[in-house]
Amino acid sequence: MKRLRKAEAEDAPLKEAAAASALEDDLEEGAAAAAEPEEAPEVAGAGAGALEARADAAELAAVHGGAGTDPIEDSDEEGAAAPPQAIAAPRKAKGKAMAAPKPAKVKATGLAAGQKKAAAAKGKGRAAAGSPAPAAVKDELLIEGVAGGQASEDEGSPDAGDAAEGEEAGVSAAKAKPLKKAILTYPGDKAPAVKVEGVGTGAVAAAALHEDFNLDALATWAPGKPVPFAFLAATFEEISSESKRHAITRLLTNAIRAILATTPGDLLPAIYLCVNQVAPSHAGTELGIGDAILVKALAEATGRARDKVQHEYSESGDLGVVAFNARATQRTMFPLPPLMVASVFSTFREIARTEGTKSQEKKIKLITKLLVASKGIEPGYIMRALQGKLRIGLAEQTVLAALAQAVLLERGSKSESSNRDGSLAGRLQAAEQAVKLAYSQCPSYDLLLPALLAHPIMEVNEHVAFQPGVPVKPMLAKATTGITEVLDKFAGTDFTVEYKYDGERAQVHVLEDGRVAIYSRNSEDNTKKYPDIAASVPRLLQPGVRSVVLDCEAVAFDREEGKILPFQVLSTRARKDVKVADIKVQVCLFAFDCLYLDGRVLLQRPLTERRSALYSAVSEQPGELLFATAKTSADVEELGLFLNESVAAGTEGLIVKTLDSTYEPSRRSAHWLKLKKDYLEGVGDTFDVAVIGAWLGKGKRTGGYGSFLLAVYEPGEEELQTISKIGTGFSEEQLVQLSEQLKALVIPAPKPYYRYGETLVPDVWFDAKVVWEVKAADLSISPVHRAAAGLVDPTKGISIRFPRLVRVRDDKAAEDATSAEQVAEMYRKQVSTRTYKEVAEDY
C-alpha cells in the first residue's frame, strides 16, 4: 500500500504530497491523532494519552511480534544496516554555523565564545590562553538568563530576531543576584540539600534557569497543531552557537517541553531528527544517502550545475552552508506550505525505504522536494540531517539528557511533585540517569518515549528494561598507556585480564523459544550474517539452559590449524543473507561475558558472577565457541608476559577488568581498560613517512587541510610509494602550523616518482620535503596504497591500520623515510604463523 501512496505523493503538488505522506505510516497517524483539534490539550495530558495508546501497541507488538520488532516499522522491512549516528558541531566554526550571525546572537553567545571566535579567526595558536574562566562563567550566567525569550525570536523568520540589547542587559542584571544565590543554596529546597553526586554548581545554576521557560514565547503553533520544522531548525541553529553542555541541553529541553505541551505526538519524529536516526539501529533501516547524491539533489533543487555545488562544498566544507546560501539566492514563484517536523521525518523514512532500480532518482526527487519547500535556515539542516551530521554539538547523550529533563519538568509537577526528595538539579540529574540507563538497555525511542510519557520518569526503568531479543549497548573499554597505569587505576581492587580478540563484537541472544539473534557493536542485527553461529550456539548450551545472552568477539578462525586469523580475513565474509553452505571464512566466538541467563538479568551483577554464569551456560567447542583466555594477576612482570603472549596468539592485547564491576552498557567505563602494545610509548610499529599530498578539510577543519597523503621510500627505483592517509594525532594548533609549512611546498602535479592509487588523488600535491613519524596498530594488504608493492603481494601494496601522527621528523628527508623493504618485513613478521598450542607451550 505504501507503493500506491508513494506514487501519489510523487505527482501531487507539495501540499498534498506532504499531507499524503503525513498519513503514511502509523507514526504519522499517531501524530495526526494527537494533532486533532483537541482544543488546547491540558499540557501533556492529551498527547500523553495518544502516546500511551501507542505504548500499549508497542508493547503488544514487542511481545507478539517477537525479537526486536519495531512496532513503528513497516512489517515488510528486513534487517540491515543502521543510520548514521554521529552529529557534530564545530566549536570555533560556530560563528559561521549556518546563517549569517545575528547581532543578538553574537551577544548572547557570550563573552568567552566571542573571544574564542575572534582568536580563532585571526590568530592560529594560543586561542584559549587568555580569558580567565571565572569571569567568563559569570557573564555567561548573566546572559543565559534571557535564553528563553531569545529562542522565540528565531522562529518565524530567521532574520527577524534582534531584541533590544539594552533590555536584555537589564533583565540579566536583575537576574544576576538570585542566580548567584541559587548556586550557593540549592533553590527550592526546604531541607538542606543532600549533596547529590554528579551535581555541580553548574548543574544547579542551569536547573534554576528552567524557571524562565516560557511556552508562549517558544511555540508559534497552536496546541495540537503540527510542529513546524522551522522550530526545530531554529533550535538547532541556536544550539550551534553554544558550546556549553548545560546551555545546549537546556535549549533542547525547552524545545522538547514546547512540543510536549502542545503536540506531543510530534515528539517521536522530533527526537529522531535530533539524534539523526530514521529507526532504531536493530531495525536496519538506512537512508542510503551520501554526499554525492545530496550534491546532485541540491544542484537540481537550485537549478545549478553539479560541479559548482561540489566545488562550493569543497570550499566551505559544509553542505548545509552550501544549501543555505543557494536557497537564499533563489526565488520561489509562489509561497509553499511550511515544512513540518512530522512530514520531514516521514519523508526521511520514505527515502530510507526507497530501493531498487531508479531508487537514487526517486530519492533525489524526495530530497529536492524537501529543499524546495524549505526556507531560511531549513535547507541547511535538511542537508546536514541527510548527511547524518548535524554538527551542532548535539548528539545522542545530550538528547537523552534533554529528553529526561523536559519530561520531568513538563510532566513531573503533576505526578511527581509529591516525592520531591532533592533539589531540582538533583532530580534532573536522577531523571537523566534513569533515561540514559533505560535507553542503553533498550535502545529504541519507539519503546522509550511512550513509556516515558505513560509512567513517572523515575519508574522508566521498570517499563523499559533489558529483554532478550533487544540488544544492549555493549560495554566499552578505556585506552591506557601501560601496565603501570593499569595498576595505578586498579590499585586496591581485584581485577582480571583477558585477551582482546581482533574480530567483531557479537552479542548473542538465545531466546526461550530457541530463536537466536546476534547483534553488532552498534546494535545492528547480524543474525543473517552469522547463520553458522546461530545454528551452533544452541547446541552448546549446557543442559537445562533455556535462554542466555552472551557478549563475545567473533573472530575468523582456521579450524584445521586451530589458529586465529587476522581481522582482514573476517571482513571478507559476506554480510547479507548468508547461506551456511557458502561460508568461506569460519568464525569462532570468544565469549567473555554473560548478561542474562534463564530469566535472570545479570547486568547489575559483578563480573565474577557473570563469568561463572557464562561458564555454566555454555560449553566450549574448539572452532565454534571458546571462552576468552583470562588470567588473574596483579604482578607487573606477569602482566607484561601475558601481554606479549596475547600478541603472539594473534590478539590485539589485553582487556583488564575489575572483578566486582557491573556491566555498564555503552559506557567506556573505567572498569574495563584496554592495554594494547601500540599504546605504549616507544612500543608498536612506527614509520617515518614523507608527506606528499593533502585533502581540504570539512566541518571544523574547513579552510585548511583535513588529511594528508603519506609515502615510504623505495631506494631501488627511487620511488615514494603511498602507504596511508592520516588525519589525527595533531592538535588543532599543530595542524594549522603544519598546513602553513606544507602550503609552501605545493606543486601543481605529482612528481614522476610518486606511486599512488588512481582513486586516491589528493586535492594538492606537495614536494616531498616533510617527514613525519607515524604510529599504527597493524599492517594490511591494500587495494589502493602502493607501499612495498610486489614484495608481499604480487601487485598490491601495503597500508597501515589506525594511523596517527607521533611527531615531526625535522631531522629527516624523504630519502630517510622507512623503506619499502622494511614495510614488507614488518608485514611478514606480524602474520601469525603459530598455533595456539605452540603459543601456550611457550608460556
Partner DNA sequence: GTGCATCGATTTC
Partner DNA sequence: GTCGGACGGATTCGG
Partner DNA sequence: CCGAATCCGTCCGACGAAATCGATGCAC
In the complex, the smallest distance separating the C-beta of residue 659 from DNA, rounded to whole angstroms, is 18
395-434: which residues touch DNA (CB under 7 A)? 395-399
Distance CA 666, CA 671 (A): 12
Stretch that binds DNA, among 538-546, 557-565, 642-650, 663-671 (CB under 7 A): 663-671
Contact of 750 with 694, CB cutoff 8 Å: no
Question: What residues numbered 482-511 form the site for DNA, per CB under 7 A?
Answer: 489, 502-505
Q: Is position 623 an interface residue for DNA (rule: CB under 7 A)?
A: no
CA angle 635, 637, 641 (to 5 degrees): 115
What DSSP line would sit under 302-366, residue for residue? HT--HHHHHHHHHHHS-HHHHHHHHHHT---SSPPPPPBHHHHHHHHHHHHH--STTHHHHHHHH
Angle between helices 341-353 and 267-275 (to 10 degrees): 60
Q: At what angle do helices 319-328 and 378-387 cross, to 10 degrees?
A: 150
Nearest residue (CB) to DNA, 23 versus 583: 583
358 contacts DNA (rule: CB under 7 A): yes
Footprint on residues 803-832 left by DNA (CB under 7 A): 803-804
**Cell of residue 221, nine digits:** 503553533
Q: In Å, what is the CA distance from 293 to each residue of 362, 364, 373, 774? A: 11, 7, 18, 34
Number of residues that bind DNA (CB under 7 A): 124
Minimum gap (Å) between residue 631 Cβ and DNA: 20
Strands 754-755 and 719-726: parallel
Shorter beta-carbon distance to DNA: residue 469 or 727: 727
Q: Which of 2, 769, 801, 812 binds DNA (CB under 7 A)?
A: 801
CB of residue 128 vs DNA: minimum separation in angstroms?
5
451 touching DNA, by CB under 7 A: no
Reduce the DSSP state of residue 833 to 3 states and report it.
Answer: coil
Q: Name, in order, each residue with C-beta under 8 angstroms of 96's C-beta and a sequence gap of 6 or more.
A: 321
At 361, list the grid cell: 532518482
Applying CB under 7 A, among 157, 185, 201, 484 the residue interacting with DNA is 201
Question: Could you say which of 32, 88, 171, 487 contacts DNA (CB under 7 A)?
Answer: 88
Positions 124 through 183 that interact with DNA (CB under 7 A): 127-128, 132-134
**What span, in angstroms and rounded, lies between the C-alpha atoms of 340 and 229?**
4
Q: Within positions 456 to 475, which residues make up the interface with DNA, using CB under 7 A?
A: none
Cβ proximity to DNA: between 46 and 475 the closer is 475
Q: Mark whether 389 is an active-site residue.
A: no
Rg from Cα positions in the chain: 28
CA distances from 94 to 5, 156, 236, 411 (A): 40, 22, 12, 33
Contact string (CB under 7 A) for DNA, positions 682-711, x = contact? -------------x-xxxxx----xx----
Q: State the nearest-atom distance from the C-beta of 389 to DNA, in Å.
A: 5
Is the CB of 178 or the CB of 290 nearer to DNA? 290
CB 498 within 8 A of CB 525: no
Write the CA distances from 351 to 20, 362, 386, 442, integer angstroms: 15, 8, 10, 26
State which of positions 769-788 bind DNA (CB under 7 A): 775, 777, 780-785
Least gap, CB of 47 to DNA (angstroms):
25
Nearest residue (CB) to DNA, 360 versus 368: 360
Residues 281-340 that bind DNA (CB under 7 A): 286-294, 317
Residue placing its CB nearer to DNA in the complex, 134 or 752 = 134
List the catalytic residue out of 116, 365, 375, 500.
500
Give the nearest distance from C-beta 139 to DNA in angstroms.
Answer: 12
Helices (H), 584-649: 607-617, 636-648
Per CB under 7 A, which of residues 236..265 are in contact with DNA? Answer: 243-247
Residue (88 or 372) nearer to DNA, CB = 88
Distinct helix (H) and strand (E) counts, the chain:
32, 22
Say if residues 449 and 267 touch (Cβ distance below 8 Å). Answer: yes
Among 156, 188, 337, 729, binds DNA (CB under 7 A): 729
59 vs 71: CA distance, rounded Å: 8
Query: Applying CB under 7 A, which of residues 84, 114, 623, 703 lies at the interface with DNA?
Result: 84
Q: Which stretch binds DNA (CB under 7 A): 13-21, 197-205, 333-341, 817-825?
A: 197-205
Q: State which residue, 370 or 395, has the beta carbon closest to DNA.
A: 395
Near DNA by CB under 7 A: residue from 448, 727, 742, 824? 727
- Please say which residue, 180 or 225, places its beta carbon nearer to DNA: 180
Name the E strands within 681-745: 685-696, 705-714, 719-726
Which of 181, 414, 575, 600 lies at the binding interface for DNA (CB under 7 A)?
A: 575
Cβ 42 to DNA shortest distance, Å: 32
Catalytic residues: 500
